[in-house]
Structure 1
């Protein structure tokens, strides 16, 4: 990207920055050209040489519609040059040196890989990489990395087994920039936790969310502003990712290809049961059903709204029947925080509508399923309730979009757990689907699933502790 010819002055009268404002105005004293930039779109400011003089490049995200006049949600990386950097801007955005996780790769200094998921969300990963991430790294002088585009649902798992896990075992540092939704992160969690038991050097993952729900990213604040994920890449600090393990009865299978295929779960627990790992959510009932039903190309074109559309179909079946009542025995594993004693609680209810355990607060940007969850605190919270009228369920879901107010409903159970077990009593396989971080697993008739927190933390993710932004959107 060629820097603009105009250098903007930041003397009094040419620079307007109100800390509480949504935008910042710049004006060139040479051409009198003015530029207004949304605060939430600013990524950083980096020093640049301009014909022997030091100027400062302010990098920000610009909506393509600003240039074309055509309604378009695509964001592009753009920049303006500043003659000087006022103190308010310097304190918030000046980027003087690379953080350790972005240092150039070397024999033992670490490596950096970028994974671009080609199927996450509405398929914008490649565009984001080409239009934003790659030019941003070039501005920062970061050119030593390898890029991988996913070719199948197994690409990330294969990369972990072939490259990332061996490097971690050799105690070599590595940074992985992941342009993906929750599924890509889950693939990494499952691969590492299924393979490694000994102490390693955890890879540092920079999650750039391009999925549909983006539960992890939303819960970490990586979508609070358009630039938040990129700011976390530059200023974030590594924090370990808590996980859970899900074990299944022997006949459990993954459902793939829009529900048309079943594939085996290859990894087994010590007692021979299929086992997968996750870091976001484990569910059965309405949530698992709507995630499974909406995982099609037809639904995905609606973005996050696909979940709402699928939910309406489940609650208001087209054949006019009542919504399904999910049958099974649910046991919760709990621990007394004072005595640390553990106990089990079998729910008296045998019919259920919603059974969901979460390590994160938000399943979507505004859908706060667990308001007491804090980023990466490792606490597992369960939300569950029995059969209700469709209108009552919709009211519960609406309340979840209102900063988690659903947990105040007396019909909703919300509690911290160590894990749970479900013995499914369903004959129709449609109601025997389990959701683990967006992946769907079907359990055989009479089968079961058991979920428990895993003590190991084998991956780090960049967490934005104190964003320079006061995000207003």
Structure 2
């Protein structure tokens, strides 16, 4: 991929262009300048009247000096260049009108929100908004949106209850441009499904990924190229986000504050007998996956970005204190359709000891980590991946093969199948081994407790994704 020279054009400059491989070379004679733009970095092309003629403003993701081609980098900028003519092979980037999900007027009554998760990933959400999103919205004529920056882990949930859900219940449309990782999206899914009991107008979420793993964004292809999520914001269509419900025995608690805090999962925490429910759209897991997510959710680990998961996994598999790799004890029961797809049957999985138990609605948990290669974007299918106790070296080999296009599911030691749900009856005396992961949130189940996960039939939240979008080939 070609790097882009950092050149800001003025209103008087107009460039001619030619193509070199998969880049667009733009040149002006007076003054003499040249800009090279990779096709993958192009966001849109906007026709503009200038001195009685039509010229074309091309907007693209631009890497600042010493930066990297990563949308999460604080060195990314919105670049623009004025072209004398528009390349025909960029016709599907042509910007002619604001899409309905970004239209807001007195007649449409659509509200538009920009929500920045300030703590996601390596904390680049604010700079991405300032350097790219804010000028992009200004260019295309989107104004009057509400801007919110998270102040705590509860901010997105509070926004749901004070703004998003009441508006949806009034049958009013809204678009949430969410600069976040999976956590912000998970908060919205859980808040809507936990609260809404009547017919609503689902909010449309434009996900601009700024997290560490970005499972949903990776699975939807929003991180395929630096500009993809921004192209989806302008050209995307809405689709339902399938969800599951994870129900827990009484006494389950969220683990907070880097493992130091406990908050009851039950909506009525005063009722010790109340069971609890969390809604998710990405993953429910127990075993090594849940443990590595829990252990790596610290400031110290987060500075390593996505590598924090690998570092935590190695410590779990190869404990630095020399202890044996833990064998997770419990009974895992699957709920699956019978061969005629008429009745749900139960199937006990394994022999009571496990290493990796994970159910997912998405294909890719982090860049290149294809946990479920048969999953299709938003198809609603829940897949189980499980393997039992094995040597840490062997387990690392299995997990590493997921980075090779999901080859781990072909390993004879790995169970991989479509399910309707599953249940875990925990047989672990120590809380450390009774931690589960629901879309990145960590829950500790009490001794002798259980977790049960089932697919939900309702979809209350939409997401913008690109359909049939092809990147240009000038040849």
The interval holding the TM-score normalised by the smaller chain is over 0.9
- 8 Å CA contact 2:357, 2:386 repeated in 1: yes
Q: Distance in 2 between matches of 1:431 and 1:135?
A: 47
Match of 1:87 in 2: 88
Structure 2 residue 345 is matched with structure 1 residue 343: yes
Match of 2:128 in 1: 128
Please state whether the residue corresponding to 1:363 is helix, strand or coil: strand
Q: Distance in 2 between matches of 1:17 and 1:62?
A: 18
Please state whether the residue corresponding to 2:314 is helix, strand or coil: helix
Deviation at 1:87, TM superposition (A): 1.7
Cα shift readout 1:34-72 (whole Å, capped 9, x = no counterpart)? 21101111100112344565422110111112699xxx7
Q: Distance in 1 between matches of 2:96 and 2:129?
A: 23
Please state whether the residue corresponding to 2:418 is helix, strand or coil: strand
Match of 1:4 in 2: 10
Match of 1:56 in 2: 56
CA RMSD of the aligned region, Å? 2.1
Deviation at 1:5, TM superposition (A): 4.6
Match of 1:373 in 2: 375
Deviation at 1:317, TM superposition (A): 0.4
Cα shift readout 1:95-150 (whole Å, capped 9, x = no counterpart)? 11111001134365211001000001010010000010000000001112000000
Q: Distance in 1 between matches of 2:107 and 2:425?
A: 51
Deviation at 1:26, TM superposition (A): 1.5
Q: Distance in 2 between matches of 1:251 and 1:296?
A: 24
Q: Distance in 2 between matches of 1:115 and 1:362?
A: 24
Please state whether the residue corresponding to 2:151 is helix, strand or coil: coil
Q: TM-score, normalised by structure 1?
A: 0.93
Please state whether the residue corresponding to 1:322 is helix, strand or coil: coil
Deviation at 1:17, TM superposition (A): 3.0
Q: Distance in 2 between matches of 1:348 and 1:436?
A: 22
Match of 1:166 in 2: 166
Residues 334-413 of structure 1: pairs in structure 2 closer than 5 A: 334-336=336-338, 338-413=340-415
Q: 2:301 aligns with which of 296, 299, 302?
A: 299
> How many pairs align?
461
- 8 Å CA contact 1:105, 1:112 repeated in 2: no
Residues 218-297 of structure 1: pairs in structure 2 closer than 5 A: 218-267=218-267, 272-297=274-299
Please state whether the residue corresponding to 1:17 is helix, strand or coil: strand
Deviation at 1:368, TM superposition (A): 0.2
Structure 2 unaligned spans of 5+: 1-6
Deviation at 1:266, TM superposition (A): 3.8
Structure 2 residue 48 is matched with structure 1 residue 42: no
Cα shift readout 1:240-270 (whole Å, capped 9, x = no counterpart)? 000000000101000111111001124379x
Match of 1:415 in 2: 417
Q: Distance in 2 between matches of 1:309 and 1:415?
A: 28
Deviation at 1:33, TM superposition (A): 2.1
Cα shift readout 1:141-176 (whole Å, capped 9, x = no counterpart)? 111200000011111111111111111111101000
Q: TM-score, normalised by structure 2?
A: 0.93
Match of 1:466 in 2: 468
Deviation at 1:459, TM superposition (A): 0.7
Instruction: Decide which moves more: 246-255 or 335-344.
Output: 335-344
Structure 2 residue 151 is matched with structure 1 residue 145: no
Q: Distance in 1 between matches of 2:114 and 2:74?
A: 24
Q: 1:337 to 1:197 in 2, by over 3 A?
A: farther
Q: Distance in 2 between matches of 1:355 and 1:324?
A: 14
Superposed structure 1 runs of 4+ greater than 6 Å apart: none
Deviation at 1:25, TM superposition (A): 1.0
Q: 1:38 to 1:6 in 2, by over 3 A?
A: farther
Deviation at 1:440, TM superposition (A): 0.3
- 8 Å CA contact 1:65, 1:73 repeated in 2: no
- 8 Å CA contact 1:8, 1:26 repeated in 2: no
Please state whether the residue corresponding to 2:192 is helix, strand or coil: helix
Q: 1:325 aligns with which of 301, 324, 327?
A: 327
Please state whether the residue corresponding to 2:258 is helix, strand or coil: coil
Match of 1:181 in 2: 181
Please state whether the residue corresponding to 1:465 is helix, strand or coil: coil
Q: Distance in 2 between matches of 1:348 and 1:54?
A: 67
- 8 Å CA contact 2:240, 2:460 repeated in 1: yes
Match of 1:444 in 2: 446
